[in-house]
Amino acid sequence: MRFNASSTPRASWALKIAALGTLLFLHVPMWIIFLYTFTPDERTYTFPLPGFTTKWFAIAFQREDLWEALSLSFRVAAIATVVALVLGTLAASAVYRSKFFGREAISFLLVLPIALPGIVTGIALRTAIGGLDIPFSFWTIIIGHATFCVVVVYNNVLARFRRLHGSQIEASMDLGANSFQTFRHVVMPNLATALLAGGMLAFALSFDEVIVTTFTAGQQSTLPIWIFSQLTRPRDRPVTNVVATFVILITFLPIFFAQRISAQSSDSEGGSK
């Protein structure tokens, strides 16, 4: 490290092994579930697997309750994402374009739902909704999810705004475009991938959420709630394995692409949650 000032210093073997170990610790557990989707064993989690079967995929496919839970989760995540996209973009534009009193407070307020433990958000919403005698329904789930999805869109869009050159907007206005045309032809194309990334992350966040949902749902069962009930009282272990694998795959793609988009447009902002 002392002499090769110009080149990157080389990591010691110990550091490389430790880093690799952490990386494996992060990823291997999820692969184990894939393995278990093929177990013929219905009652235990015996390893090594006592055999090999693919029948659980077909069995899970025919479960009505799963399809209902899946469709509910999709609808909730889709609507919560749309709400988050609108509110998050509005807040980000406001914070970007003007300096006003309490600007810092807005970031703080938006980040609060993910900085405080989920149970605080959950029970707060439950007491408020219950206190107003609003029945717990599809819409109360969305109200809960939107509160913590907004910040994801907000962060992504604000980061993009900060890299957008003000001169582009000025040039557009100078060339005679009005605000709406400038927004449509200059701002929007620049924001598009940030919106896509923020939207996909918000979708993944809502699709997986369980803590707030347990407090804001009535009798509805989203897919995470279905999995949660299986965690506490396992009745359909093999089907749960299939569902868990499915959830990993379905959320992996949007997360992966969202991170790629953020990583491409900047080096260090990729992990800003």
Partner 1 sequence: MLTRISTFLYQRPRLILFLLLGPPMIYMAVVYVGSLFSLLINSFYSIDDFTGLVIGEFTLRTYSQLFTPANREIFLRTASMAAVVTLADVLIAFPLAYYIAKFASPRLKTWLLIAVTVPLWSSYLVRVYAWKLILAKEGILSWFITLLRLDGVLEWLLSFEVIGGSSLALSPIGMFIVFVYIWLPYMIIPIQTALERVPGSLLEASGDLGANPMQTFRNVILPLAFPGVVAGSIFTFSLTLGDFIIPGVLGNSKFFIGQAVYSYQGTAGNIPLAAAMTMGPVVIMIVYLLVARRLGAFDAL
Backbone angles phi, psi at 165, to 5 degrees: -85, 125
CA distance 94 to 81: 20
Residue 54 C-beta: closest distance to partner 1, Å: 18
Residue 189 C-beta: closest distance to partner 1, Å: 19
Tokens of 30: 């999820």
Cα 90 to its chain centre, rounded Å, is 20
Nearest to partner 1 of 59, 128 (CB atom): 128
CA distance 267 to 273: 15
Nearest to partner 1 of 36, 56 (CB atom): 36
CA distance 200 to 254: 5
Nearest to partner 1 of 33, 164 (CB atom): 33
Residue 95 C-beta: closest distance to partner 1, Å: 8
CA distance 59 to 51: 18
| Owner of token pair 């990386």 | 23
Nearest to partner 1 of 131, 189 (CB atom): 131
Backbone angles phi, psi at 34, to 5 degrees: -55, -45
Nearest to partner 1 of 17, 192 (CB atom): 17
The secondary structure of 41-95 as a DSSP string is -SS---SS-S----HHHHHHHT-HHHHHHHHHHHHHHHHHHHHHHHHHHHHHHHH
Q: What is the CA radius of gyration of the chain?
A: 23
Residue 67 C-beta: closest distance to partner 1, Å: 18
Residue 168 C-beta: closest distance to partner 1, Å: 17
Nearest to partner 1 of 129, 159 (CB atom): 129
Residue 73 C-beta: closest distance to partner 1, Å: 11
> How many angstroms separate the Cα of 254 from the Cα of each of 125, 157, 251, 258?
28, 17, 6, 6
